[in-house]
Amino acid sequence: MPISTFFGLETTLRGILAHQQAIDTTGHNITNANTTGYSRQTAVLGASNPFVMTAGVGNGNVLASIGTGVNVTSYQRARNQFLDLQYRTQAMQVGYQEANSEQLDQVEMGLSEPGDNGISAQLQKFWSAWGDVANTPSDPAARQALIDQGQNLAAAFQQVDSQLSTVQNQATAQYAAITGPGGDVETIATQISQLNGSIKALVAGGDSPNDLLDRRDALLDQLSKLAQVSVTDLGNGSIDVAFGGTGTPVVADTTVNWPQTLNSTSPPAGGQLGALLKLTDTSPPAATAGTIQAYRTQLDAAAKQLADDVNALHNPGGTGTNFFTYTAGSEAGTLAVNVGVAGVRTSTSGAAGDNDIARAIGNLRGGTADKLYTAFVTKIGGDLKNAQTGASNANTLLSSIDDRRQSVSGVSLDEEMTNLVRFQRGYQASARAMSTIDQMLDTLINRTGSVGL
């Protein structure tokens, strides 16, 4: 079988086109060097199918196999799935620790500790006010100062309890905004499902939708910061995405299954949503309640201890008037002074100048109530410190994993410039070969048979 006169032109044309596509891919990498989530792409060059020469007609013997040049066989995306899995696992930890740290910081700010307006300072002033009354039991001014300080102390307990409730409500609202209609979860899941459809169609057509795959991976990274993410490859370019430890995938191919109920304990949702659930959980029993609810329980215990200790001395036998009142189950939020100036009892005898009750209550300073409140403040401070340390460590590990991922997927401008020169030389060589063949054909077509050549 003869070879066409224009066979060489086709071969060199393939070289020009292949190197042009490789240059285009290199340019695409360079322009996206600073694009978040972009994965470096490579135009893979491979020899095109050879031209086979046979003897005879039909199934003749093969005489020769002649190369026909080069083609771009595929556009590969530099990506390591294991590093993606590590990144998303760590991103979940970052989301959890940052959300925990942010909310606990709000809790600590509401304590006003140390400071003149915090409960600790108000307690000390309250005990001192009882000492002043013990020094001058009959002085109305000392009694009034005691009443005022008792009211200040009760207001301080109420304020801290209100601040804990506010933080709890804010965290609940934040969770609802993220998981509700039009929230981050639904938005990201919808975009992933749409990309699944586009990627699946392109893969079925033999294309390599690398940029769409990058966009989908970036969305998975965002989703993993909200809660635990598990990806199942369906083998056709599409994926299923399990979210928050629930059984039903939030994205099943091109279908979005949301809303779903995430659990704070079994299995844990993880991520930002998992932290918000753990912070705001109010379900019984108290031993498994959320973090903020546990704080409120501790604060209630301190307020109850204070009221009970003072009332036990101020109203021995329980036949008189208690100094403090409260509602069981919400002691800190309902603590209130129950007596007026005339109702302050300073002694068991009631005789002018006696002060045994006032002295006994003043001696409660540093007792069980103070210790319970100190333990409450210490618990919050320790939890916040642990959360801040955890967030810092989690971010450090995430940065380390991201650096490793960038070493695989990131664009190196030095490498791309080297590739640009390499492909440019290949393009120039192919063009030069085409010019040479063109000159040969020009001689053959236009000058063959002319006299004098």
How confident is the model over 367-398, as pLDDT tens digits? 999 999 999 999 999 999 999 999 999 999 99
Q: What is the pLDDT of residue 59?
A: 60
pLDDT over 90 at 128, yes or no: yes
Tell me if 178 sits within 8 A of 185, measured CB to CB. yes
**Residue in the block written with tokens 């990058």:** 214
Q: What is the dihedral of CA 350, 356, 362, 367, to 10 degrees?
A: -120
Structure confidence at residue 202 (pLDDT): 96
pLDDT over 80 (residue 58): no
% the chain with pLDDT above 70? 96
Backbone angles phi, psi at 337, to 5 degrees: -80, 135
Contact 339, 323 (CB under 8 A): yes
Distance CA 12, CA 450 (A): 29
Residue-wise pLDDT tens digits, 94-113: 999 999 999 999 999 999 88
**95 with 225: CB under 8 angstroms?**
yes
Q: Cα–chain-centroid distance for residue 172?
A: 17
pLDDT tens, residue by residue, 399-410? 999 999 999 999
- What's the whole-number mean pLDDT along residues 178-186? 96
Pairing of strands 51-55, 61-66: antiparallel
State the average pLDDT over residues 325-354.
90
Core vs surface per residue 10-34: b (16+ CB within 10 A) or e: ebbbbbbbbbbbbbebbebbeebee
- Looking at residues 60-79, what average pLDDT do you find? 87
**50-59, 211-220, 437-446: which has the minimum mean pLDDT?**
50-59
Which pLDDT belongs to residue 56? Answer: 61
Q: What pLDDT is attached to residue 452?
A: 53
